[in-house]
Amino acid sequence: MSDNAPLYLAMWSGPRNISTAMLRSFGSRTDTFVCDEPLYAHYLKATGLPHPGAAEIIAHDESDWRKVADWLTGPVPEGKSIFYQKLMTHHLLPVIDRDWLERLTYCFLIRDPREVLTSYLNIEELAEPSLEDLGFPQQQEIFEMVRERTGQTPVVLDSKDVLDNPAGILARLCEVLGIEFTDAMLTWPPGPRATDGVWAKHWYSAVEKSTGFQPFRPKPDQVPEHLQSLYEQCLEYYDRLYEKRLTVEA
């Protein structure tokens, strides 16, 4: 990143990942403005899915993806030099044009699909997810699109790696992005943020209690038998990106 050019960092994640903790991490930087799932209102309005608080989200946030895209690629708010964008892969519906995405710098946040699925099932309204609901194929699509258009392999972070060694992985990420790493990215005060989406009350109870990245602890939950086929499909996508993940070693 040059001294004058702002960094538009699109962190593409599926649901039930550590994406909000990563939002907290980058939000702790003094040079960074963060935004939380800016395409969510459009996604809910277009799909009609019964997510918790859907009507409130649509009423509160911009639901025209074109206006959202203009904002995400326009001047960085508050005069900051980094615009960190927490983006959900399943929110990038087929109707959304892809050309504006070329102006962003990409990073992909992945998580073991067993842990994603067993966490997702705790939300009553979402107890029977489809492959598209979990965002794995969309994540692969966006990854391949970026690689094809740029000729470069974008950064992939695995959530377990981040939790096992947040300082090491985030330092390597900053090195690759051409920005300075700061210890401020490792801790934050508990509580809500003005930059959190209005859906925070439904999803963010754990992260609002946190003061930093929590050590990785394997979930004991098992994928239900009737979702084994879905899990195996997700695993195929996950494994492809896992092979390309960023590690502490150069």
- Please give the Cα distance from 80 to 87 (Å, whole number): 19
Dihedral of the CA atoms 142, 147, 149, 152 (nearest 10)?
140
Give the pLDDT of residue 127: 67
- Report which of 4, 67, 76, 3 is spatially closest to residue 39, judged by C-alpha positions: 67
Give the predicted TM-score (pTM) of the model: 0.94
Q: In a 10 Å sphere around its CB, with 0-12 CB exposed, 13-18 middle and 19+ buried, how is residue 202 labelled?
A: middle
Cα distances (angstroms) measured from residue 111 to each of 114, 146, 162, 204? 8, 20, 10, 18
Instruction: Identify the structural domains of the chain with CATH numbers, from first to last.
Output: 7-242 (3.40.50.300)
Give the pLDDT of residue 125: 60
Residue 187 β-bridge partners:
212
- Please give the Cα distance from 170 to 149 (Å, whole number): 26
pLDDT digits (tens, 9 = 90+) for 223-240: 989 899 999 999 999 999
Give the pLDDT of residue 123: 67
Measured in whole angstroms, how far is the alpha carbon of residue 178 from the centre of its chain? 20
Give the pLDDT of residue 180: 97
pLDDT beneath 50, residues of the chain: 1-2
Give the pLDDT of residue 3: 60
Give the pLDDT of residue 2: 47
- Report which of 151, 127, 117, 142 is spatially closest to residue 233, judged by C-alpha positions: 117
Give the pLDDT of residue 16: 86
